[in-house]
Amino acid sequence: MSVVKMQKIRIIGLKEDKGALIRQLQKAEFIHLKSFEEGALDDYFSGHDPENEARHISEKITHIESTISFLEQFNENKTLVENFFPARVEIDKQEFEKTARNFNYEEIIKNTNDIKDKIFKIDDKISSMHNDIALLTPFKNLSWSPCQAKETQNTNSLFLKGPKVKYISLTEKLSEKSATYVENISADVDFAYLMLIYWKENEGDISSALKEEGFETLNLSLCDKLPSNAIDSYEKQIESLLKEKEKLFKKIKQMLKCKDKLMMVHDWYLFGLQREKAKEHLCESETTFVLQGWVRKDDMNKIKETLQNKTHPTYIENIDPDEGEFPPIEIKNPVLVRPFQPITKLFGLPHFGEVDPSGFVAPFFFMFFGLCLTDAGYGIVLITLTLLAMKKIKVGSQGKQFLRLFLLGGIATIFWGIVTGGWFGIEIAELPQVLKALIIINPLENLMKFFILALSFGVVHILLGIGIEMYEQLRSRNFADAFADQLSYLIILPGAILWIISKQGFLSPKFSQAALFIMIAGAGIMIVSSLFKKGRNPLLNVLISLGGFIWKSKDFVGNILSYSRLMALGLATSIIALVINILAGIALEQIPYLGILAALLIIIVGHLFNIAINTLGAFVHTTRLQFVEFFSYFFQGGGEAFQPLAQESKYIISKVKRSAASTGRRAEGR
């Protein structure tokens, strides 16, 4: 439950060891590199590495990537799951290195590009033939080849296409000119297709007549066969081209087998690119290089061991951060809290000096998630599906954390399901005695109790938020602020709630008096301690504190009521589950013979749908309660993430089990 302590260091080594050292740092995931500010080093280290290969490598990566995604289009074995989680390759490190070094990927890329070109050309040819066929089809009954309609000394001939309705008016216009010959060759629904022979001396009149009536000339002069024969031959050619294309597709499918290897090569170069990019941070002299960056304090010994047991000398020193520079943030938590870290990261890492809220997020997220589903049956299904996914789907470490989150959420769901008697929406009266005995609240009958339960969680959550802020104020020695703006709230708010409860008649009237005293005591603390606040006039400070409290009290009410969503979501889940069962019951009764099948279908599809949509709802609304209601009291976020130079893969997942710390770290990179 904490932010990892960081130390800034500087490493100086010999130029000839540079490559090896960077490689080692990358493998060990030690250091978050920082560039040197201008003038931070002596002139001695003024050089930069001229031979940076970043551009060269990233070109290669682009080629490989486009090849992979081209091949991927033809992957017919893609499962439904892969639509959600892109496939990855799981492999151990040694095999990965061996494959990546030896695999002749350039050939694959070349072949793929060849095939791509060929397919492109074939498609081009086919589409141009289709155009020709479309052009010739109206003339397919012609008993001579169109190229015979040639220009003579005095006449010219044209093939025409135009609106059928204009045919008569066109022939009338044309007949005004002497000796024009029009033949109606064919017609379809909208258009008439004609051949026209005319005297060249009439050319101007003819073309304007054609324009007026909307007829266009068709160029068929290239067709030296009978149109019907030409169409036949085109169709044959298209058929053979399609066969050729089919063959190419088969080749591609063969090459799909290399996809995994291509992915390895891709990541191999990606790691190389990451190293080259890292090299941009360092400075060089003639014979040495220097780099600086942040490392975890706990890693210091390991770093020294790793780097200094080499035969070549390296010098490591601790340095102070630059002015205004804060260390990058990494959060590290016990195993059970770790699945909730992504939630914190979604909002933003704590900035330097802030508390990591993950540990506080964990129990509430857990409880809220379960409350939104409140069905033990659904919890069991959720856990089963998650376990299945953990086994079947290869996901990166962040994906694994998310799956663990759902696993924990499933457990909470079972808990709340048992407490509220939710078992696949079965009516409580029909549950077995054992399960009935475990029910503490029946939400449908005890609506108010369930509501108050949800709001109480809200109260605790918000008070905790204020408490954390108080802790932070105390830690930074703002005692007066902590007492005036947090401690007083922590006293007044519970007092107010106690007062409301006793006024409502849930407690004896004595409590309402006690509650009044508590509130007055809180207000007293607020007034007295704001007198000691720094800056400004003490009386003004008192007014500001009081005004602030009144202003914020509408937020308290709003924020606490916002937790009623827990009840609403929980009820929605269980009522829809009930509806599904009733529908299934109706199907069973009303549909003869097939009723049982229909009922089963309704039950399975209906409940799965209900689980899916409500799990989504549970996740997003629970997250929102953390971000909007809880965090607003103490957490700003916005810290820079600790991103050590590491092997950030895109396609491969290393089979070697990582240490716990490194799992958390990798989750952050993506």
By CB under 8 A, residue 605 contacts other proteins: no
Helix (H, G, I), strand (E, B) or coil at 246: helix
Which DSSP string do the residues of 323-376 spell out, in sequence order? TT----B-EE--TTTGGGHHHHHHH-PPPTTPPPTHHHHHHHHHHHHHHHH--H
Residues numbered 318-337 forming contacts with other proteins, rule: CB under 8 A: none
Tell me how far, at minimum, the Cβ of 100 lies from other proteins, in Å.
Answer: 24
Residues numbered 623-662 forming contacts with other proteins, rule: CB under 8 A: 623-624, 627-628
3-state secondary structure 271-327: HHHHHHHHHCCCEECCCEEEEEEEEEHHHHHHHHHHHHCCCCCEEEEECCCCCCCCC
Instruction: Single out the segment in contact with other proteins by CB under 8 A; choices: 350-358, 460-468, 611-619, 641-649.
Output: 611-619
Among 70, 451, 471, 511, binds other proteins (CB under 8 A): 451
Query: Phi, psi (5° rounding) for residue 533?
Result: -65, 150
Tell me, rounded to whole angstroms, the distance of Cα 373 from its chain centroid: 24
Beta carbon nearer to other proteins, 333 or 562:
562
Question: What is the sign of the dihedral through the CA atoms of 397, 401, 406 and 411?
Answer: positive
Beta carbon nearer to other proteins, 243 or 670:
670
Instruction: Single out the segment in contact with other proteins by CB under 8 A; choices: 57-65, 263-271, 291-299, 557-565.
Output: 557-565
Beta carbon nearer to other proteins, 88 or 279:
88
If you ran DSSP here, which 8-state letter would residue 38 be given? T
Q: Residue 436's CB: how many other CB atoms inside 10 A?
A: 13
Per the CB < 8 A criterion, the answer to whether 331 and 344 are in contact is yes
Q: How many residues does the chain have?
A: 670
Tell me how far, at minimum, the Cβ of 345 lies from other proteins, in Å.
Answer: 10
By CB under 8 A, residue 567 contacts other proteins: yes
Per the CB < 8 A criterion, the answer to whether 615 and 406 are in contact is yes
Cα–Cα distance for residue pair 649/100, rounded to 1 Å: 13
Question: Which amino acid, one-letter code, is at 599?
Answer: A
Taking Cα atoms as reference points, which of 184, 182, 191 lies closest to residue 135?
Answer: 191
Instruction: Single out the segment in contact with other proteins by CB under 8 A; choices: 333-341, 492-500, 597-605, 613-621.
Output: 613-621
By CB under 8 A, residue 578 contacts other proteins: yes
Cα–Cα distance for residue pair 174/160, rounded to 1 Å: 13
Instruction: Single out the segment in contact with other proteins by CB under 8 A; choices: 80-88, 311-319, 504-512, 636-644.
Output: 80-88
Tell me, rounded to whole angstroms, the distance of Cα 431 from its chain centroid: 41
Question: Which amino acid, one-letter code, is at 6?
Answer: M
By CB under 8 A, residue 582 contacts other proteins: yes
Among 84, 144, 551, 593, binds other proteins (CB under 8 A): 84
Tell me how far, at minimum, the Cβ of 445 lies from other proteins, in Å.
Answer: 10
By CB under 8 A, residue 74 contacts other proteins: no
Cα–Cα distance for residue pair 476/204, rounded to 1 Å: 95
Tell me how far, at minimum, the Cβ of 85 lies from other proteins, in Å.
Answer: 7
Residues numbered 421-450 forming contacts with other proteins, rule: CB under 8 A: 447
Per the CB < 8 A criterion, the answer to whether 241 and 158 are in contact is no
Cα–Cα distance for residue pair 135/137, rounded to 1 Å: 6
Question: Please, what's the b/e burial string for 543-580 (b: 16 or more CB within 10 A of its CB; e: otherwise)?
Answer: ebbbeebeeeeeebeebbebbebbbebbbbbbebbbeb
Tell me how far, at minimum, the Cβ of 522 lies from other proteins, in Å.
Answer: 29
Taking Cα atoms as reference points, which of 271, 254, 258, 249 lies closest to residue 105?
Answer: 258
Instruction: Single out the segment in contact with other proteins by CB under 8 A; choices: 106-114, 231-239, 266-274, 556-564.
Output: 556-564
Instruction: Single out the segment in contact with other proteins by CB under 8 A; choices: 409-417, 473-481, 504-512, 565-573.
Output: 565-573
Cα–Cα distance for residue pair 500/411, rounded to 1 Å: 34
Beta carbon nearer to other proteins, 295 or 560:
560
By CB under 8 A, residue 579 contacts other proteins: yes
Question: Which amino acid, one-letter code, is at 155?
Answer: T
Beta carbon nearer to other proteins, 129 or 575:
575
Instruction: Single out the segment in contact with other proteins by CB under 8 A; choices: 5-13, 407-415, 517-525, 612-620.
Output: 612-620
Among 36, 70, 74, 85, binds other proteins (CB under 8 A): 85
Per the CB < 8 A criterion, the answer to whether 290 and 316 are in contact is no
Tell me, rounded to whole angstroms, the distance of Cα 513 from its chain centroid: 54
Per the CB < 8 A criterion, the answer to whether 450 and 441 are in contact is yes
Among 620, 636, 638, 658, binds other proteins (CB under 8 A): 620
Per the CB < 8 A criterion, the answer to whether 241 and 126 are in contact is yes
Instruction: Single out the segment in contact with other proteins by CB under 8 A; choices: 79-87, 168-176, 208-216, 461-469.
Output: 79-87
Among 64, 291, 519, 571, binds other proteins (CB under 8 A): 571
By CB under 8 A, residue 70 contacts other proteins: no
Instruction: Single out the segment in contact with other proteins by CB under 8 A; choices: 27-35, 133-141, 509-517, 569-577.
Output: 569-577
Beta carbon nearer to other proteins, 398 or 662:
398
By CB under 8 A, residue 561 contacts other proteins: yes
Beta carbon nearer to other proteins, 316 or 444:
444
Q: Which tokens in the block code for residue 287?
A: 């014979």
Beta carbon nearer to other proteins, 486 or 574:
574
Tell me how far, at minimum, the Cβ of 404 lies from other proteins, in Å.
Answer: 16
Per the CB < 8 A criterion, the answer to whether 439 and 548 are in contact is no
Per the CB < 8 A criterion, the answer to whether 349 and 637 are in contact is yes
Residues numbered 378-407 forming contacts with other proteins, rule: CB under 8 A: none
Question: Which amino acid, one-letter code, is at 445?
Answer: E
Tell me how far, at minimum, the Cβ of 482 lies from other proteins, in Å.
Answer: 30
Beta carbon nearer to other proteins, 226 or 602:
602
Tell me how far, at minimum, the Cβ of 620 lies from other proteins, in Å.
Answer: 4
Cα distances (Å, whole numbers) of residue 644 to 1, 28, 295, 335: 21, 9, 8, 22
3-state secondary structure 23-37: HHHHHHCCEEEECCC
Among 621, 635, 667, 668, binds other proteins (CB under 8 A): 621
Instruction: Single out the segment in contact with other proteins by CB under 8 A; choices: 119-127, 135-143, 208-216, 615-623.
Output: 615-623
Cα–Cα distance for residue pair 601/588, rounded to 1 Å: 11
Residues numbered 339-378 forming contacts with other proteins, rule: CB under 8 A: 346
By CB under 8 A, residue 199 contacts other proteins: no
User: What is the chain's Cα-based Rg?
Assistant: 38
Task: Say how many residues touch other proteins, by CB under 8 A.
Answer: 31
Among 507, 568, 641, 661, binds other proteins (CB under 8 A): 568
Q: Which tokens in the block code for residue 436?
A: 């009935």
653: which residues sit within 8 A by CB, 6+ positions away? 88, 89, 90, 91, 394, 395, 396
Beta carbon nearer to other proteins, 521 or 568:
568
Instruction: Single out the segment in contact with other proteins by CB under 8 A; choices: 224-232, 266-274, 529-537, 570-578.
Output: 570-578
Residues lying near other proteins in the complex (CB under 8 A): 83-86, 346, 447, 451, 561-562, 564-565, 567-569, 571-572, 575-576, 578-579, 582, 613, 616-617, 620-621, 623-624, 627-628, 670
